[in-house]
C-alpha cells in the first residue's frame, strides 16, 4: 500500500492561502489586460484574437492573448492526445482559469410534484396534486488554475480545415445555410427590403423583426445580418443582461464588435471595421462591468458562429445518403437529427416547434442515434 503524507492543519491552511494568492494574481492580470484593451488602440486587435477563441470566456481569452499573442488554437493536454497530437517536450502551458463547483454547506428547500415511475403526476384523495419537499445543496463557483497548449506547441495528426471559411466565393447554397443558421439562433427569419434613408439594416424589438437592405453584395449582406442579429441576442428587451441597459451608441459598438468577431472567424474581409469611440464608451466604468460586456459580446458571437459552422458542415454532407449521415463521425447527434427533420419536411412530414425541440433534446441526451431515429415516425 502506497504511503500518503498527512498534512497538518497549518500546512493545509498555508497551501490554501498560496492557491488563493495565485488566483488573485491572475485576476489582477486580467483587470490590467481589460484596462489596456479599452484605453489603447488594441480593442480591434483583441476582437480579432477573440474570434479564434469563442469557446473561452473573455477573461481566459485575455489570459491567452497576454501569454501567447500568436496562439491560434488551444486545448488541454488530454484533448490534444485525443486529437492524435502530442505536446512537444519542454513547452510551457498557458495559464487559464477553470471553474470549480463546490457545496456552500447550506441547503434550499424546493417543493415539487410527486410522480410515479412513469413520470405521471400523483393526486390526493381530494383531487389536489401531491407534492413533496426536497432539500438541494446550494452550490457556488470558485476558480482553479489550469493549463492549455497552442497547436504550435504540438505535433501529430493534421488539424482539419474549418468548413466555415468564407474567404472564397459565396454561392447561393452557402448563403441559404448561413441565413438559416442565423434564423435558428435568433428565432427570426431575416427579411430583405429596400430600406429608406440609406440604412443597411435594422432590428425592431417591438415587431421582433430583422430587415436587411436588398441588393447588396453577399459579403456586405452577411456583415449586416451579423450586426442586426447581434442586436437581437444582446439587446432584446426581454433579456436580463448587462448589454440590454446600454445607451444607444454603446449598443452599436457592442453589435459591431460581435459582427466583427463572427466575420473575422468566417474569413470575411474585416478591414473596414473601426472602433474610434471605444475609449470614451469605457470611460468611468468598473472593470467588472467591462469584462461582463466582453463576455456577453463573446457569447453572442459564439452562438452565431457555432450555428453557422453547424449549418455549413451539414451542407458539406448534403450528398450523403441517410445511412451514411447516421454513420458519419464529423456530425454530432443533434446535427444528424436536424438533417432527419429536414428530410422529413422534404417528404411532407412536418413537426411543430415543441416536437422539434423534443427530438433535438433527445438526440443530445442519447449516444446512440438509432434511438432518435425510432422517435421519428417516417424512419421507424
Is 230 among the domain residues? no
Convert the pLDDT of each residue in 68-118 to its tens digit: 999 999 999 999 999 999 999 999 999 999 988 877 778 788 888 888 877
**CB distance 229 to 211 below 8 Å:** no
Q: Distance between CA atoms of 257 and 259, rounded to whole angstroms? A: 5
Is 322 among the domain residues? yes
Q: Which of 19-33, 180-194, 253-267 has the lowest mean pLDDT?
A: 19-33
Convert the pLDDT of each residue in 236-292 to its tens digit: 998 888 788 888 888 898 999 999 999 999 888 888 888 877 877 777 677 788 888
Q: What is the DSSP string of 40-52?
A: STTHHHHHHHHTT
Is 245 among the domain residues? no
Whole-model pTM over 0.85: no
**N-terminal to C-terminal alpha carbon distance within the chain:** 55
Total tally of structural domains belonging to the chain: 1
**CB distance 156 to 83 below 8 Å:** yes
Q: Residue 370 sits in which domain range? A: 317-379
Longest dimension (CA), the chain: 80
Residue with cell 412536418: 350
Is 359 among the domain residues? yes
Q: What mean pLDDT do residues 39-53 have?
A: 87
**CB distance 134 to 110 below 8 Å:** yes
pLDDT at 377: 64
Is 25 among the domain residues? no
C-alpha cell at 68: 501567447
Q: Is the pLDDT of residue 1 over 70?
A: no
Q: Which of 42-51, 286-295, 304-313, 316-325 has the lowest mean pLDDT?
A: 286-295
Is 116 among the domain residues? no
Q: Is the pLDDT of residue 169 over 70?
A: no
pLDDT greater at residue 302 or residue 241: 302
Is 87 among the domain residues? no
Q: Distance between CA atoms of 265 and 263, rounded to whole angstroms? A: 5
Is 57 among the domain residues? no
pLDDT greater at residue 284 or residue 200: 200
Amino acid at each position: 500500500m502506497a504511503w500518503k503524507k498527512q498534512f497538518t492543519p497549518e500546512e493545509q491552511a498555508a497551501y490554501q492561502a498560496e492557491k488563493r494568492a495565485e488566483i488573485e494574481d491572475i485576476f489582477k492580470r486580467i483587470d490590467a489586460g481589460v484596462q489596456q484593451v479599452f484605453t489603447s488602440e488594441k480593442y480591434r486587435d483583441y476582437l480579432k484574437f477573440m474570434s479564434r477563441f469563442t469557446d473561452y470566456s473573455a477573461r481566459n481569452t485575455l489570459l491567452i492573448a497576454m501569454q501567447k499573442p500568436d496562439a491560434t488554437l488551444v486545448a488541454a493536454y488530454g484533448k490534444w492526445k485525443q486529437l492524435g497530437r502530442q505536446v512537444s517536450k519542454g513547452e510551457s502551458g498557458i495559464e487559464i482559469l477553470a471553474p470549480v463547483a463546490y457545496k456552500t454547506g447550506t441547503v434550499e428547500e424546493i417543493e415539487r410534484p410527486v410522480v410515479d415511475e412513469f413520470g405521471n403526476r400523483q393526486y390526493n384523495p381530494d383531487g389536489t396534486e401531491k407534492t413533496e419537499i426536497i432539500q438541494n445543496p446550494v452550490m457556488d463557483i470558485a476558480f482553479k488554475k489550469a493549463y492549455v497548449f497552442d497547436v504550435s506547441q504540438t505535433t501529430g495528426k493534421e488539424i482539419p480545415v474549418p468548413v466555415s471559411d468564407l474567404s472564397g466565393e459565396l454561392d447561393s447554397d452557402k448563403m441559404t445555410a448561413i441565413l438559416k443558421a442565423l434564423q435558428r439562433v435568433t428565432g427570426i427569419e431575416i427579411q430583405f427590403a429596400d430600406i429608406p434613408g440609406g440604412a443597411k439594416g435594422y432590428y425592431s424589438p417591438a415587431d421582433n423583426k430583422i430587415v436587411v437592405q436588398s441588393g447588396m453584395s453577399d459579403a456586405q449582406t452577411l456583415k449586416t445580418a451579423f450586426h442586426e442579429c447581434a442586436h437581437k441576442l444582446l439587446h432584446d428587451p426581454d433579456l436580463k443582461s448587462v448589454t440590454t441597459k446600454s445607451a444607444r451608441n454603446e449598443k452599436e459598438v457592442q453589435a459591431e464588435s460581435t459582427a466583427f468577431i463572427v466575420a473575422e472567424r468566417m474569413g470575411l474581409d474585416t478591414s473596414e471595421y473601426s472602433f474610434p469611440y471605444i475609449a470614451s464608451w469605457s470611460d468611468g466604468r468598473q472593470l467588472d462591468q467591462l469584462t461582463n460586456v466582453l463576455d456577453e459580446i463573446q457569447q453572442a458571437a459564439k452562438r452565431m458562429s457555432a450555428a453557422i459552422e453547424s449549418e455549413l458542415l451539414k451542407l458539406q454532407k448534403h450528398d450523403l445518403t441517410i445511412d451514411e449521415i447516421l454513420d458519419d463521425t464529423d456530425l454530432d447527434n443533434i446535427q444528424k437529427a436536424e438533417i432527419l427533420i429536414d428530410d422529413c419536411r422534404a417528404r411532407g412530414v412536418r413537426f411543430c416547434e415543441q416536437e422539434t425541440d423534443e427530438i433535438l433534446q433527445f438526440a443530445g441526451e442519447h449516444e446512440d442515434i438509432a434511438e432518435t431515429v425510432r422517435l421519428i415516425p417516417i424512419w421507424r
